[in-house]
Amino acid sequence: MSTVTANRKPVHLAVYDTFADWETGHTTAYLARAGYEIRTVGPTRAPVTSIGGLRVEPDLALDDVEPQESALLILPGADLWDAGDDLAPFARRARAFLDAGTPVAAICGATAGLAREGLLDDRDHTSAVSFYLAATAYKGAERYVDTDAVTDGNLVTAGPTEPVAFAREVFRLLGVYDGEVLDAWYRLHHDSDAEAFAVLQQAAR
C-alpha cells in the first residue's frame, strides 16, 4: 500500500495551546503506520494543552525545525489562530517551508493564519467558508475553492469538518497511497463503505 522510501524524513506536527486534536488524527496515525516518524513542534519545548484537554510536551521548539530536515509541516486549527498574533510565527515558518519546497498542510483556523501571511494569495485553497478567510483581508479570494480539501503544489488546505479529506490529500501528496487504494481508504473512513475495506485488505497482501 505504501510507496514511500525507507529513508524518509520525519513529519512535523505543530502543537500549541487550544490546538484541535481531532483534526489531524487520521493524518498522523496513517503516516506513522506508513513508517514516518511524527515529531511535535511547539512555540517552545514547554507543554501545551489541546482543546480536548490533552497535555503535550513538544519534541522540538519551532525555532529548531528546518524545512530541509522535514517531510511535511502540519498546522492544525486552534482558537489562538483567531485570538491575536501568538501563532503568526508558525505561519512565517510555513512560508519558509514552502519556499524551500517542503510541503505544508493546514486545516481549519491554520488556513486563516496562512491567509494573513499572504500564502493563499496565489494558490488554490479552501477553508471553513470563504467569508472566514475574507475577514483576514487577504488577496486570494478568487483562488478559494468550495470543496472538502485542496492541494496546490506543496500546500494542502481543508476546513474543520474535513479531517479525512485532509488526510487523503496529504497521503496523495507524499505518495503514501494512490489510485484505488487511496480512494478506498477515503471511502472507508469518510463513508463507512464496507466494500472499500476489501480493497485495502487486498492491497495489504
Q: Is beta strand 60-61 parallel, antiparallel or unpaired with respect to 155-158?
A: unpaired
**Catalytic-role residue among 13, 41, 75, 108:** 108
- What's the mean pLDDT when you consider all of the chain? 95
Q: Please give the grid coordinates belonging to residue 177.
A: 497511497
Can you give the residue range of the structural domain that contains 191?
Answer: 178-205
Note the pLDDT tens digit of each residue in 74-100.
999 999 999 999 999 999 999 999 999
Same domain, 204 and 122: no
pLDDT-based confidence at residue 204 (cuts at 50, 70, 90): confident
Whether residue 118 lies inside any domain: the answer is yes
Same domain, 50 and 139: yes
Whole-angstrom distance, CA of residue 165 vs CA of residue 175: 15
Task: Report the pLDDT value the prediction gives residue 159, as an integer from 0 to 100.
Answer: 97
Whether 96 is a known active-site residue: answer: no
Name the pTM for this structure. 0.94
Q: Please give the grid coordinates belonging to residue 38.
A: 511524527
Whether residue 4 lies inside any domain: the answer is no
Give the domain CATH number at 103: 3.40.50.880
pLDDT-based confidence at residue 7 (cuts at 50, 70, 90): low
User: pLDDT > 90: what percent of the chain?
Assistant: 92
Note the pLDDT tens digit of each residue in 21-76.
999 999 999 999 999 999 999 999 999 999 999 999 999 999 999 999 999 999 99
**15 pLDDT above the threshold of 80:** yes
Same domain, 66 and 122: yes
